[in-house]
Amino acid sequence: MFMKNLAVAQSGGPTAAINATLCGVIAEAAASGKIGRILGALHGIDGVIAGKFADLSGLAGNERDMKLLRQTPATALGSCRKKLPNLTSGGDEKVYADIFTNLAKENIGAFLYIGGNDSMDTVAKLTEYGKMISTGIKFIGVPKTIDNDLSGTDHTPGFGSAVKYLCTTVQEICRDSNVYDIESVTVIEIMGRDSGWLTASCSLLPERCGGKPQLIYLPEKTFYIEKFLSDVRSLHKSGEKTVIAAVSEGLRDEAGRYAAGRSLSGKRDVFGHEYLAGLGKYIEQEVTDKIGCKVRSIELNVCQRCSASLASKTDLDEAAGAGAAAVRAYLSGETGVMAAMERVSSEPYRIRYVTVPVSDVANKIKTFPKEWIIPAGNGIEKAAAEYFRPLIQGEENLICEDGLPLQITI
């Protein structure tokens, strides 16, 4: 029997676990005995459009390379940010023709796309187009995002490692902030434009270790700077000299504008550009102006999504599991679905892999549950810890050389 090949690609922002998913795809495809070559499209769907593929089949039998791939952060195959044109728009459909021509040329049986909202939109459109032209090629999505804002899955691969990085780092920043015996404010700006999952996870930090953020603000609630300042004043008044606030970059004011945007007004450089200050810098300035104590802001930035050195073993295992589940879904004849995780129980922690129609996932955002935000709007209910805790368990044993983690380049 002449076996079909498998194509896989990665898309959107990097995570620490997206290459573990690639490992899962490669291992499961090789083990099935039902798949020919495994081809990685370079730079997401752009690689399919341009016909740029790397043959990954050889990795399957190389245990060390597979381990290195698993511990390498960001997309080993490269990434892209591309939205395919709507099929109903009557627009240019050449891009679809290119994709299907190149998939056929490589004798592809299924295209697996590892990504977030936008990637699931791509999977949905390719499935639809494929039906229109009656191709047999299957399209399967595999979830990936540190934001955890994908519908249809209990959580997303990549999120657990981001939480582990975040909690580990914030715990260290809290120690750093607590060394001086003076009133101060530390503002930690955390990723999440539309949902507060990542910021909320800071609530997991134990009381035991000298300091955790006393204030947490998510984009799911309107942010009032005056309320923030009053929260800080209350804590100082109660004797807590060091106030630490975790804020989501996506906080919005009562008019629905990004709170960080307030700092833009009137400030332009010599070329007339508006100055792009971040939310943390904005709040820092407000504290300086209105409270006047020592204050600093810390923007955690891309390390949140690429810190493989602090990855969660549970997350990497699950990410690989999702990749394997996608391969099994293809082999059982499914298409237009995303491999997802369903939580069977939190204690003991158990998940199972399922598939959900990708059209139920694409372009939707799963926000943080409002019932897990305390009524005052500046903290997280203890109940959320049961959800977060299992996701950060276990440390990955990294292969190091000369004191630094080894990575692989494809």
Which sequence positions are flagged as catalytic? 147
Which tokens in the block code for residue 147? 């934001």
**Among residues 254, 347, 371, 402, which is the contact residue for its own copies, using CB under 8 A?**
402
Cα separation, 259 vs 250, whole angstroms: 8
The binding track of 127-166 with respect to its own copies, each residue x by CB under 8 A or -, is -------------------------------------x--
Q: How far is the CB of 183 from its own copies (least distance, A)?
A: 14
Nearer to its own copies, 354 or 385 (CB): 385
State the nearest-atom distance from the C-beta of 250 to its own copies, in Å.
Answer: 18
Pick out residues in 305-334 that bind its own copies (CB under 8 A).
Answer: 305-310, 312
Integer Rg of the chain from CA: 23
Is residue 270 close enough to count as binding its own copies by CB under 8 A?
Answer: yes
Interacting residue with its own copies among 5, 21, 72, 248 (CB under 8 A): 72
Nearest of 403, 407, 237 to residue 311 by alpha carbon:
407
Residues between 279 and 308 with contacts to its own copies, criterion CB under 8 A: 281, 285, 288-289, 296, 298-299, 301-303, 305-308
Place of tokens 């780092």: 169
Verify binding: residue 205, its own copies, rule CB under 8 A.
yes
Q: Which of 169, 129, 123, 126 is nearest to 150 (CA)?
A: 123
| Cα 103 to Cα 85, 97, 266, 387, distances in angstroms | 18, 10, 52, 40
Q: Pick the closer one to its own copies by CB: 1 or 270.
A: 270
- Cβ closer to its own copies: 136 or 210? 210
Q: How far apart are CA 4 and CA 21, in angstroms?
A: 21
Q: Applying CB under 8 A, which of residues 90, 273, 332, 375 lies at the interface with its own copies?
A: 273
169-198 residues in contact with its own copies (CB under 8 A) are: 169, 171-173, 175-176, 178-181
Q: Is the peptide bond before 348 cis (omega within 30 degrees of 0)?
A: yes
Cα–Cα distance measured from residue 239 to residue 369, given in angstroms and rounded to the nearest whole number: 32
